[in-house]
Amino acid sequence: MQKLELEQKLGQKLSGQQIQFAKLLQVPSIMLNDYIANEIADNPLLDDTKKEEDNRDISEEALIQTDSDHTFYETYKKHPTIDRYSVYQQLKPHTISLQEHLKEQLRLLYLNEVEYRIGEQIIGSIDQNGYLQCGLEIILQDLYVNHYLAVSINMVEKVLLAVQSLEPAGIACRNLQECLLIQLNKQGNKNPVIQLAKEIVTHYFDSFTKKHYEAIIKKLMLPNTILLKKALTHISRLNPRPGWDHGTIESSNHFLNPDFIIVEQQGKLSVDFLYYPTCQPRLNRHYLSMLEGYEKKIKKTKTDQEMIAFLKKKKEDAKWFMDAIAQRKQTLLKTMMAIFELQHKFFLGEEELDQLVPMVLQHVADKIGMDASTVSRIVNQKSVQGKFGIYPLKFFFSEGIKKSNGEHVSNKAVKQRIVELMQYEHKQNPYTDEQLVTILTEKGYHVARRTVAKYREQLNMPVARLRKTPL
């Protein structure tokens, strides 16, 4: 017999407004204008106060508050000593994209219409490093699906060779070995150094990448190492990422826009927002009067009642959104103040890694009385301008290492020491992980070998054998 039971459970569920506020916290200040504008477009009960200013005479203040300056004026009023242009990173000059550059050259080749279409497909499959992202079989399928072209693999290979003849040298390669060979083939065969470099890359590439130079000398039966050293040096000067010469596939101009600024006045440091949104939401007077008119009606039709319900709902949403914008500002500033207080030594000094205090999300969360996950959303895609640079807020979070004097320092400082040691190590006898541990211990940093190995890998530094220079 089936038995029915009643069970009571407690659970937590985020409301739609809580989810929206969490998203609002993640929005960088430079993108806040667009976020507010989208909300204004979706909610008829919201309006932009900026519209009222459109008819005013243009003054210096109005010019400073244009979208292009992103209301630097609000910060400038409080801190007039700030150079208003020093907070911007110079705009990168417009550069032609890699795809455009290759297509311009492709038009100059003697190709028929089908071959040109294949060339375009190949160029479209090149990544930002200049490598072909997919196999020729995939390109064949794409040609058939996108252009209804049924061609042979031999024709695609023929056009690929034509694309590989374009500049920059090494473009449209399928692997590093092919990339280096394309560049070497363009340099001719007369020079004995280039001839040896080609032979090494063609037949002994595995030994070359593992720096087994003794094995290469033995196999090639070279009388001395002088020519080999020249060939290895020549190979090392080739470009392993030919696409980088022309930036990304879709080149565009970019700003580096910090959300906060650390300002020094009369010997004291303070935190402030660097940008204030030009888009200031308010309740739309036209729709408020419309709502008031509907409510004053003595006899209300069903349509009137639906309209009243709709406008009231939108009015509540609008009020909540305006409160959320104000709350976002307070929450972000409170979080930045907590980071500033915890890392006061860093900002007060020369902003060096040694001055960073070990800090995790929970430290900030405890200070501002919020959850660590909320702090994570807040610091995401946010940055602050200090005296000597612009730092992502995530930069200030790191694990700690205890020194011999009992002081706790950030692991970023240990990583910096490892980088410095590798920069000045003997290139033919680089430090092993064990030797790095010994040196760091002498400097007061107590770290295990596996910790050094982990930090080295995070820094994209190879093991000692692979850091060794040619003979």
**417/452 same-domain check:** yes
What confidence category does residue 471 fall into, taking pLDDT thresholds of 50, 70 and 90? Answer: low
- At which of 142, 167, 192 does a domain end? 167
What confidence tens digit (pLDDT) does each residue in 105-154 have? 988 888 898 888 898 988 888 888 889 888 888 888 888 877 788 888 89
**305/421 same-domain check:** no
In the DSSP assignment, the letter for residue 57 is P
In this structure, of 47-56, 187-196, 256-265, 270-279, the range with the lowest mean pLDDT score is 47-56
Biggest alpha carbon distance in the chain? 108
**387/286 same-domain check:** yes
- If one compares 363 and 246, the residue with the highest pLDDT of the two is 363
What confidence score (pLDDT) does residue 180 get?
92
CA–CA gap between residue 470 and residue 427 (Å, rounded): 9
**178/163 same-domain check:** no
What confidence tens digit (pLDDT) does each residue in 375-394 have? 888 888 888 888 888 888 88
| Domain count for the chain | 4
- If one compares 156 and 84, the residue with the highest pLDDT of the two is 156
What confidence score (pLDDT) does residue 15 get?
64
**415/348 same-domain check:** no
State whether residue 318 is helix, strand or coil: helix
Judged against a pLDDT cut of 70, whether residue 444 lies above it is answered with yes
- If one compares 82 and 412, the residue with the highest pLDDT of the two is 412
What confidence score (pLDDT) does residue 184 get?
92
Q: Does residue 440 lie in a domain region?
A: yes
Q: Does residue 272 lie in a domain region?
A: yes
In this structure, of 15-19, 45-49, 121-125, 242-246, the range with the lowest mean pLDDT score is 15-19
* Residue 188 near residue 177 (C-beta atoms within 8 A): no
CA–CA gap between residue 50 and residue 53 (Å, rounded): 5
What DSSP string runs through 192-204? HHHHHHHHHHHHS
Q: Does residue 2 lie in a domain region?
A: no
Q: 432 lies in which domain range?
A: 399-471
Q: Does residue 176 lie in a domain region?
A: yes
420-429 average pLDDT score: 85
- At which of 209, 238, 267 does a domain end? 238
What confidence score (pLDDT) does residue 211 get?
82
459-467 average pLDDT score: 83
Judged against a pLDDT cut of 90, whether residue 34 lies above it is answered with no
Q: What is the CATH number of the domain that holds 444?
A: 1.10.10.60
- At which of 167, 183, 213 does a domain end? 167
* Residue 395 near residue 271 (C-beta atoms within 8 A): no
**416/445 same-domain check:** yes
Q: Does residue 23 lie in a domain region?
A: yes
- If one compares 202 and 69, the residue with the highest pLDDT of the two is 202
Candidate ranges 215-219, 265-269, 340-344, 405-409; pick with highest mean pLDDT:
340-344
168-188 average pLDDT score: 90
Q: Does residue 429 lie in a domain region?
A: yes
What confidence score (pLDDT) does residue 50 get?
64
What confidence score (pLDDT) does residue 251 get?
42
What confidence score (pLDDT) does residue 84 get?
42
What confidence score (pLDDT) does residue 374 get?
86
What confidence tens digit (pLDDT) does each residue in 222-276 have? 777 788 888 888 988 898 888 886 654 444 444 567 888 888 888 788 888 877 7
The H or E element containing residue 99 is helix 98-106
Residues in the chain: 471
Q: Does residue 346 lie in a domain region?
A: yes
What confidence score (pLDDT) does residue 310 get?
92
In this structure, of 52-66, 306-320, 361-375, the range with the lowest mean pLDDT score is 52-66
CA–CA gap between residue 255 and residue 239 (Å, rounded): 28
From 38, 66, 34, select the one nearest 50 (Cα to Cα): 66
**227/289 same-domain check:** no
What confidence category does residue 366 fall into, taking pLDDT thresholds of 50, 70 and 90? Answer: very high
Which residues does 313 contact at the CB level (< 8 Å), separation at least 6? Answer: none
What confidence category does residue 335 fall into, taking pLDDT thresholds of 50, 70 and 90? Answer: very high
Candidate ranges 1-10, 447-456, 459-468; pick with highest mean pLDDT:
447-456
* Residue 308 near residue 294 (C-beta atoms within 8 A): yes
- Residue 79, amino acid: H
Scanning the structure block, which residue is given the tokens 């004053």? 296
326-352 average pLDDT score: 88
From 405, 395, 387, 388, select the one nearest 443 (Cα to Cα): 405
**273/147 same-domain check:** no
What confidence score (pLDDT) does residue 94 get?
54
* Residue 146 near residue 138 (C-beta atoms within 8 A): no
Q: Does residue 268 lie in a domain region?
A: yes
Mean pLDDT of the chain: 81
**52/145 same-domain check:** no
- HSE-CB at 415 with a 13 A cutoff on CA atoms is 17
Task: Take residue 279 and report the two structure tokens written for it.
Answer: 């888009």
For 174-258, list the strands marked E by DSSP: none
**389/373 same-domain check:** yes
307-312 average pLDDT score: 90
322-348 average pLDDT score: 90
**292/305 same-domain check:** yes
Total Cβ atoms within 10 A of residue 26: 14
Task: Take residue 466 and report the two structure tokens written for it.
Answer: 């692979």
What confidence tens digit (pLDDT) does each residue in 280-295 have? 888 888 988 988 888 8
CA–CA gap between residue 260 and residue 331 (Å, rounded): 13
**393/407 same-domain check:** no
Judged against a pLDDT cut of 60, whether residue 81 lies above it is answered with no
